[in-house]
Amino acid sequence: MYTKLHTKSYNNNDRLFFLLNPNEDIAENDPVRVVDAVVESLDLSEFKKLYREKGRCPYHPKMMLKIILYAYMNNIYSCRKIERQVQRDIHYIWLAAQERPDFVTINRFRNRVKKEINTIFTQVVLLLAERGFITLDVEYIDGTKIESKANKYTFVWRKTVEKNRAKLQEKIRVLLQQIDEVIAQDKAAETEAAEFTPETLDSLIGELKEALAAEPEPSDKERKKRQREKKKQIKELEKHRDKLDEYDSRLEQMGERNSMSKTDPDATFMRMKEDAMNNGQTKPGYNLQIGTENQFILDFGLFQTPGDPLTMIPFYTSFHNRYGRLPQIGVADSGYGSEENYRFMEEAGIEAYVKYNWFHREQRMHYEPNPFSPQALYYNADGDYYICPMGQHLKRAGTIRTKTESGYVSESAVYKARRCEGCPLRGNCFKAKGDRIIEVNHRLNEYRRKARERLTSEEGIRHRGRRCIEPEAVFGQMKYNMAYKRFRHFGMDKVNMDFAFFAIAFNLKKMCSKIAKQTQNGGNTPHCGLFLPISRFLSPENRIFWEKTQKSVA
């Protein structure tokens, strides 16, 4: 039997007036409340100098910071998508107190605070330390390559620029010899050995134009042809000047690097782990270094060099500038095991759990060292000589000094055997002509010996096992869980700004995750007290969410 279905009235064309209460619709333990409370507790006094006292009232920087951080926590990095969420999602509407900044305003705010956002990141880390999530006593360091926004075919190589610049210098010299002017001939003779510069060419072009303008009007065809030829040569010289200026600017932008991108001059071409074609193709990117503890990001730095060894000392300097001290313990993989880094950590009082090149090989069960390697030869410290397997002495023959890219000077002692001719073990010992020569860095060997003792101790084994789940896990969450695999800005300053926002959001998201787990376990931990200041910030007398304010601009 058919019965009439009764439903609630529905007509979306009617004008509806309604008022939402976010405190009822948003759960008490929602991460958005943690974001709100943390930002309310931060000191944003440095933001005041970024605004003008006159003009239209700007949006409150705390409100802008909240919605951006909450968007980054939810894998939303586009300003247009953040604008859409502020209009639709109740969590963003609650954070923005019904304000609706557009995507231009959001992007302008991010660029405006690109220097001050690093201070906010430091404040958040200190808050985590105050609440007991981290101690800042131990730092696990690792690096990864993040691709730039620039196209992969915008490469500029130093060797190519230098080669083309040398060819251009020769073209200019030949052109000046062809110009039938005393000025050009004198300039070509002066710069026979020296190089041309855009400034010298510019002054020369000016003089040639003045000389050409001072000539009388040609009357016959031959003189007109000669004048046209001079104008053509001057125009060609102007092209060479512009090209030389371009080459010089490229070399200046590259600095000490070997490559750069045309659209993002701060990016360097590096080999990425994400290689879809498996052909080892280089892409423009940055070398991101992070330090973590309990999977919280303590510090970060972006470098233009692909290698890791030269980044450790600047990275520790950044840590000291942020927190006024250095960590007591530093843990890193073999990519950082250089003499310069070992010496810095020892002099700075950092207990170094840093591997060296062949540490993993030494820890294998069936490892047998090569009896002919310099490390396996017996060394007599009193006589300063080595003894080969045949009993021959390798005596000190000199010292070799090498300088790294950072300017650090390393010394290696050179030892040479007296006579290797006719030795039955020569084929296994070495294959070069003459007597065997070895180079030994005694200081580096001593640092490696100390590192081996630390790494094989009980504490070292614990740190080695912990390092695999510290920065590596953060990189995995960053790239695959939060889809942060490529930068979305050009330039080092903007890339730093964008990752600072991400690092703050990552730490807040990790903190919310730990609080949720602790709440499930009964909350009997030191961290559960974090909700006490949250309830204070969210009390009704201190927070007015739905009062309409004057329309503003950022």
- Tens digits of residue pLDDT in 444-456: 989 999 999 999 9
Which residue type is seen at 76? I
Q: Tell me what the mean pLDDT of segment 538-552 comes to.
A: 39
Angstrom distance (rounded) from CA 249 to CA 156: 12
**450 within some domain:** no
**266 within some domain:** no
Q: Tell me what the mean pLDDT of segment 112-139 comes to.
A: 93
State which of 419, 442, 465 marks the end of a domain.
442
Q: What is the pLDDT of residue 11?
A: 60
* pLDDT over 80 (residue 92): yes
Angstrom distance (rounded) from CA 452 to CA 230: 73
Tens-digit pLDDT profile for residues 187-220: 555 555 578 888 888 888 888 888 888 777 777 8
Tens-digit pLDDT profile for residues 41-54: 998 888 888 888 77
Query: 270: which strand partners?
Result: 283
- Report the alpha-carbon angle 127-96-547, nearest 5: 115
Same domain, 173 and 236: yes
Which residue type is seen at 141? I
Angstrom distance (rounded) from CA 84 to CA 101: 10
For tokens 């007036």, what's the residue? Answer: 17
Q: What is the pLDDT of residue 531?
A: 44
Domain count, the chain: 3
* Residue length of the chain: 554
State which of 209, 243, 261 marks the end of a domain.
261
* pLDDT over 80 (residue 72): yes
| Tokens encoding 108 | 């302008």
| Tokens encoding 10 | 């529905």
Contact 39/65 with Cβ under 8 angstroms?
A: yes
Same domain, 160 and 253: yes
Q: What is the pLDDT of residue 292?
A: 94
Same domain, 107 and 32: yes
**27 within some domain:** yes
Contact 96/63 with Cβ under 8 angstroms?
A: yes
Contact 61/109 with Cβ under 8 angstroms?
A: yes
What are the start-end ranges of the H helices in 263-394?
312-323, 339-347, 359-362
Q: Tell me what the mean pLDDT of segment 121-133 comes to.
A: 93
Q: What is the pLDDT of residue 277?
A: 60
**293 within some domain:** no
Q: What is the pLDDT of residue 543?
A: 41
**462 within some domain:** no
* pLDDT over 90 (residue 323): yes
466 confidence band (pLDDT: 50, 70, 90):
very high
Mean pLDDT (the chain) is: 84
* pLDDT over 50 (residue 539): no
**119 within some domain:** no
Same domain, 103 and 200: no
**Sequence-ordered list of residues with C-beta below 8 angstroms from that of 184, at least 6 positions apart, any chain:** 176, 177, 204, 208
State which of 207, 240, 261 marks the end of a domain.
261
**106 within some domain:** yes
Tens-digit pLDDT profile for residues 338-383: 999 999 999 999 999 999 888 888 888 787 878 888 888 888 888 8
**Sequence-ordered list of residues with C-beta below 8 angstroms from that of 53, at least 6 positions apart, any chain:** none
3 state DSSP class of 511: helix
398: containing domain: 378-442
182 confidence band (pLDDT: 50, 70, 90):
low
Same domain, 22 and 102: yes
Q: What is the pLDDT of residue 84?
A: 94
Across 324-374, the runs of DSSP E, i.e. the strands, are: 329-332, 351-354
What are the start-end ranges of the H helices in 348-470?
359-362, 426-429, 442-455, 458-467
Q: What is the pLDDT of residue 119?
A: 93
**46 within some domain:** yes
